[in-house]
Amino acid sequence: MFEKILFPTDFSDVAHKALQYVKQLRDAGGTEVVVLHVIDQSNLELLSSYSTIQDYVSIENEIQKRAIEQIGFIGNELRQLGFTVSERIEKGIPVRVVLKVADEMNPTVIVVGSHGKSNLEEMLLGSVSEKVVRKARHPVLVVKR
């Protein structure tokens, strides 16, 4: 039922909570997980407008390096449980990339947190989770904070 899982993460606490549900899906027939992190293009654009080229390049490299590290931890945790895992880091607009990857891989379920790094108190859902629920053609499991 839940063979192929797409797990988009911004490495926030809420996404970490969602990861616990991904793990549980192993017992519900889960075999394959794509862990996806999108480096938000608009953050990079903001960064580039406020920094020298050298600073920009070194900060972007640092962001990239940390993303690889963090996604690697998650991937290994899931592999230990017996999942086949691919780790994807992409640059772009997070919701667009999530929807694009979903279209490519055709997951049985997409697991997201209800909120992410911004985690605003008054918002029912963050903008990424809201748009994924609205626009994805696949079932979405939204894990609340």
**Binding residues for Mn ion (CB under 5 A):** 116, 118
Residue 30 binds which entry of Mn ion, ligand ATP, none, CB below 5-8 Å type-dependent? none
Residue 2: name the closest of 22, 27, 42, 30 by CA: 30
* 8 contact choice in ligand ATP, Mn ion, none (CB below 5 to 8 Å, kind-dependent): ligand ATP
Q: What string marks each residue from 76 to 115 as x (binds ligand ATP by CB under 6 A) or -?
A: ------------------x-----------------xx-x
Instruction: Give whole-number Cα distances, 75 to 93, 122, 132, 134, in Å.
Output: 22, 32, 22, 27
Nearer to ligand ATP, 81 or 93 (CB): 93
The tokens describing 143, both together, are 């894990």
Residue of 14, 19, 71, 136 interacting with ligand ATP (CB under 6 A): 14
Q: Give whichever of 8 and 116 is closer to Mn ion, judged by the CB atom.
A: 116
* Residue 136 binds to ligand ATP (criterion: CB under 6 A): no
The tokens 């945790």 sit on which residue? 77
* Long-range own/partner contacts, residues 59-68 (CB < 8 A, 24 or more apart): 63/39, 64/39, 64/89, 67/11, 67/37, 67/39
